[in-house]
Amino acid sequence: MDFMGRGPAGAAAVGHQGLDWMAWYLEIPVVSRIYVTSAFLTTVGCAMDLFNPFHLYYNFDLIVFQGQVWRLFSSFLYFGMFNNLDFLLHLFFMVRYCRLLEEGEFHGRTAHFVYFILFCILGIASSASWIGANFLGNSLTFAMTYVWGRRNEDVRMGLFGFIQITAPYLCWAMLGMSLIMGQRLDLDLVGIFVGHLYYFLEYVYPVVAKVRGWPIQRILEPPMILHWLCGTMPPLDGRGQPHVHIE
């Protein structure tokens, strides 16, 4: 698996002296770049004792009853310490598949990509209290990997240089790696479940609803204000409503 995910543009960033990290970083689409940068700086800040992970973890009572709303988002930004193998693996998958989703499935659909991330955040957070989870970034990584795999079912990839799998099985291979390293699996499974729920509501339900003539054919269409903020206002149909395409 190619960590850099280079196309022709990415290949140009590599010369005889190695990878131009700044060029690679600037090639990352804007939403993925914001998330990757925020996660990296959060981890660096904790490593340098600039702030305490105790102030970042997810806690429903503190969010709802004490107004510490930032915890809903900061709990997805801290992946652990740099010397942790689990941190490095999840950071690798987060950078790669967040970027691949925005460059591929969500290309030119920034509002939909932001809406996807918000959907995953709320879905994962709603389960966090039940399973006693505090830091939720790994679960979001699994959700992203699951959706990417389902939308790229014919892509083949190699694990460790000799195991060949297709993209839909990647998240299950990651789950096996977590098991081997003795990590908890419930949070990873929550990410897979939330990713599957998004996949069903975004790609399966609209097709079924259209065939059966149901009045509500899309559930996850981003609100107009999100389109406006992301600069992706969709064209309007004859009734002045956003025109959406159903595959």
- What pLDDT is recorded for position 90? 76
Q: Is residue 159 one of the residues assigned to a domain?
A: yes
**Domains: count for the chain:** 1
Q: Is 246 a member of any domain?
A: no
Place of tokens 């280079």: 6
* 140 and 245 Cβ atoms separated by less than 8 Å: no
Residue 38 has pLDDT above 60, yes or no: yes
CA proximity to 35, closest of 121, 124, 129 = 121
Residue 4 lies in a domain: no
Rg (CA), the chain: 19
The pLDDT of residue 8 is 41
User: What pTM does this model have?
Assistant: 0.85
- Domain assignment present for residue 173? The answer is yes
Which of 65-74, 103-112, 133-142, 160-169 bottoms out in mean pLDDT, i.e. has the lowest? 160-169
Biggest alpha carbon–alpha carbon distance for the chain: 59
Residue 167 in any domain: the answer is: yes
Query: Which band of pLDDT confidence, cut at 50, 70 and 90, is reported for residue 110?
Result: very high
Quote the domain boundaries for residue 27: 16-230
| DSSP per-residue codes, 68-133 | -TTHHHHTTT----TT-HHHHHHHHHHHHHHHHHHHTTTTT-HHHHHHHHHHHHHHHHHHHHHHT-
121 part of a folded domain: yes
Are 206 and 185 within 8 A, CB to CB?
Answer: no
Listed as own residue / partner, the contacts of 88-91 with beta carbons closer than 8 Å and 24 or more positions apart are: 89/174, 89/177, 90/137, 90/138, 90/141, 91/39, 91/40
Domain containing residue 94: CATH number:
1.20.1540.10
Q: Does residue 166 form part of some domain?
A: yes
CB atoms within 10 A of CB 61: 9
- The 10s digit of each residue's pLDDT in 119-153 is 999 999 999 989 989 999 999 999 999 999 999 99
